[in-house]
Structure 1
Amino acid sequence: MIVELSHPVIEGMTTYPGIPGPVLGTHLSREDSKQLYAEGTQFHIGLITLAANTGTYVDTPFHRYADGTDLATTPLDRLADLPGLKISVTEAGARAIGVDAFTGLDVRGRAVLLHTGWDVRFGTPAYVGGHPYLAPEAARWLVEQGAALVGIDSLNIDDTPARGPRPAHTLLLAAGIPIVEHLTGLGALPAEGFRFHAAPPMVAGMGTFPVRAYAVLG
């Protein structure tokens, strides 16, 4: 069974305040393609202009560090076919996800997915303010314990005041641990027993990009 964990990319959508929405266009229309191919054969070639942080996307170390691995050099075994672990904090109450959320769990080599339930607000003003995030001490613990990837279904893995220090990004990406933000559908996953995939295109010199994140159960 495959579980979809991504938001669709839709023209004009808002992912994060201040980041422009994607613009879709056409390079070759089906009508124009009639002049290029045999009768009855048509193709459509689209164009898209979008910020790299659109929809459900991955942050690689280059997003934070100039000498970090980018989309083309981050190893695939950090992005695909990872044993998954879902941490459900939907009833926690507090915004900050602390170390206590991981008590007794083995995260080494696993994709750790933080299920906050915040994704139901995606695309609305309520998604922006007061979102759940990973506390700095919890990010440090995940680094020390050897997590392979960390994902979250809210606006940002860090708290987002206007000029905040972004400690979770700083700690995780320094350790080579990719981050997937704006996940959705995590409620459909079991706590474990699934494989997680979130590989982007191999774009050299970029640190973030939308992904088709999904989990394979069984």
Structure 2
Amino acid sequence: MSALASEPSTRCALVDLSHDVWQDMLIHHWMPKPVIHDYISREQSAKFLEGGVSFQQVHVTIAGSTGTILQVPFQFHADGPDLATMPLEKLVDVPVVVIDAVGMPEIGPEVFDGQDDLAGKAVLFRTGQDRLWQTEEYYENTCYLAGATIKHLAKAGPALIGVDSKNTDCGTDQGKPAQHELLGAGMGVLTSLTRLDQLPKRGALLTVLPPRVVGMSSFPVRVVAVVPEGADTEGAGR
């Protein structure tokens, strides 16, 4: 039996950490809603194809910060990598560290107690805000990273930062310190994640691959975690 046909030695679970995106979904009041429509419908294509064959082609108009998104340094720093040039080692098979931040409107540096070696990791903050997805409250009340937390992360050097709320910054802070400093340190920032309670605190691997759009700095993405068989997910993120 070839190596390709053999059974893998370790089975894994795949956890999708992304929200769906659809036509006219609820989003922040200042953003345009997604527009998704056929520019060639199945009915139209059936008229010029033969034998009952048909296909669909879709046109999508969407803001870069719709749904679960990845922000890359170019968003706040013109000399930083955009979606097309973000280093793959920061996006593929990145070891995950889940940080419990439930009930913390301001996420302080005390959440890192006992959490060493964050360099090159995907540090994901579980706030529980994803339970409010598609409600007005999701956009009105959000958790954010405290200044000391931002400094700690900038020094620790993760590859990715992620939250299951809509932002890493306080909505009234127009300096946007988390996004400005963490993106400036070369990290990617993921927002509006979900299902972080299905991950172990450590041991999972994260992959997020945006389209290679030149000159674009954020985009809806599908974020997938690979959880090895036997990983302890009991009380994950708690």
Compute the TM-score of the two structures, normalised by the length of structure 2.
Answer: 0.87
8 Å CA contact 1:194–1:216 kept in 2: the answer is: yes
CA distance in 1, matches of 2:104, 2:56: 48
- State the match for 1:68 in structure 2: 80
Among candidates 119, 124, 127, match of residue 113 of structure 1: 124
Alignment of 1:18-167 (within 5 A): 18-90=30-102, 93-105=103-115, 106-161=117-172, 164-167=174-177
Q: CA deviation at 1:15?
A: 3.0
- State the match for 1:187 in structure 2: 197
CA distance in 2, matches of 1:171, 1:89: 20
Secondary structure, aligned partner of 2:92: coil
Q: CA deviation at 1:130?
A: 2.8
Q: CA deviation at 1:211?
A: 0.3
8 Å CA contact 1:14–1:20 kept in 2: the answer is: no
Secondary structure, aligned partner of 1:35: helix
CA distance in 2, matches of 1:36, 1:73: 40
Secondary structure, aligned partner of 2:97: strand
CA distance in 1, matches of 2:121, 2:213: 24
- Coordinate RMSD, CA, aligned: 1.2
CA distance in 2, matches of 1:16, 1:122: 11
CA distance in 2, matches of 1:128, 1:34: 43
- State the match for 1:6 in structure 2: 18
Secondary structure, aligned partner of 1:3: strand
CA distance in 1, matches of 2:76, 2:147: 16
Number of aligned residue pairs: 215
Q: CA deviation at 1:190?
A: 1.1
If you compute each CA radius of gyration, which structure gives the higher value, 1 or 2?
2
Q: CA deviation at 1:35?
A: 3.2
Identity, in percent, stands at 40
| Structure 2 runs not aligned, ≥5 long | 1-12, 229-238
- State the match for 1:217 in structure 2: 227
8 Å CA contact 1:16–1:155 kept in 2: the answer is: no
CA distance in 1, matches of 2:125, 2:69: 15
8 Å CA contact 2:104–2:127 kept in 1: the answer is: no
CA distance in 1, matches of 2:66, 2:137: 18
Q: Which runs of 4+ in 1 moved over 3 A?
A: none
Secondary structure, aligned partner of 2:123: strand
